Structure 1
Amino acid sequence: TPTAPDSGTSTPTAPDSGTSTSSLMVFDDFVLDIAGLPHNGQAELRDDAQIINTVDGPTVHLDGHKDQVKIGRLHQFENSDQLAFKVEFARDEADGDAQRLVWNKGHVGLTLVGDGLKAHVKNNDGKFHEGFHVENLGLNDTETHEIILMVDEVEDRLQVLVDGEVVLDVTDVDFDFTGGREWGWDIGFSNNRYADGNLSGFAIDDEVQFVDTMGGSVDMLA
């Protein structure tokens, strides 16, 4: 059940609305080369973050104690009025801890909260850190989940997919994420919001292709 920040007027699509689908997005503008870290110049591994080999390929393991992947500023996206990223992540423990998984402060971000998530996009109707909250997504387990966030500042639309299902579709908030101070991209975040688990499949693109939700039903919380 999604909750929009402050405005009370967003129109998310609940995960049980029957809008199961696959994203049409192709993420090829920036793809994190995990196998080549930390020597490919793409990112810096902080603290005990390490690359491990799994049956599905190399992943970044974060232990929840100051581990981070610092990608830094990606200048090619800083003036893009469309932005999308995807990430595959599996928690180490099904404890429901809040984890800021992807963070570009004051622009876009993704936090795992309990069994759901918060999608963060700077906008003129609510506070960035509060985000758009979606519950009851089954993310409080140790399975690998794919999360996609897509936003268009001109069209004023935000859409989030989890494992191929549209779980959030906001169309009436004034998004405003370009410009301003650039802090850069982090995977995992400090201030007691570090992530613990295995991360793979991180990529960013600036050409968004939204999914047609066909008017799914919505239940809103105040």
Structure 2
Amino acid sequence: MKCTLFSTMLAVLCFAACSPGAGKKVKVMSSGKIQVDEATKTVTLTPGTQHNEAELTLTEKDKAVTVKSPEGDHAYEVPDNGVYILNLKTDTLIGNMVNFGNAGVPASISTEQLEHIIDSTQQLINGQNASDEKKTYFIVPKTIKKLTTNLNAQLINPYNNIPYKVEVDKDGKAPEIYKFFTARQKRESLNELIERMKK
């Protein structure tokens, strides 16, 4: 009986330790070179123009990530379990959770749908409709933002595409993926949509 009870308790503890909400991850996206010290949870930034990224894993005891740069040291708070994005780029990061709907890609988009997309994109560029509830994000440089409690969530940078094909988990759910763009990229795509409207 004692052996069975011990085994059950051990299984519960292992499950808690491996659950999607146990722990913290910080995805760093930067303009310039970055060096990460896992032991001290420190990121050393050398400013530049090339995109770089890294990931830090924190324990519940770790409450912040420190960034060292020519401007000085700055601590970014990581209070709760979950996945965070730290924007060390020189441009705002705009992103959202990817919706893998069942409808597939429409063969054509109506003028009304296109107008809605243009309006939504314009608002997001201005930071007007970003919200945790909608899973849409407007992250200005030198800020950190918590995205989810799911440590298995994937973050795609502005220069990589969303996977063409994804595998569902054992519950039949699509993976939790967040795609980010720079504000400049979003403005360019908005101009393309507006030009499309004129045709």
Shared fold by TM > 0.5? no
Give the number of the structure with larger relative contact order, counting CA–CA contacts within 8 Å between residues 6 or more apart: 1
The structure whose residues are more often helix, as a share, is 2
Pair member with larger Rg = 2
Query: Could you state the TM-score of these two structures normalised by the residue count of structure 2?
Result: 0.26
Query: Could you state the TM-score of these two structures normalised by the residue count of structure 1?
Result: 0.24
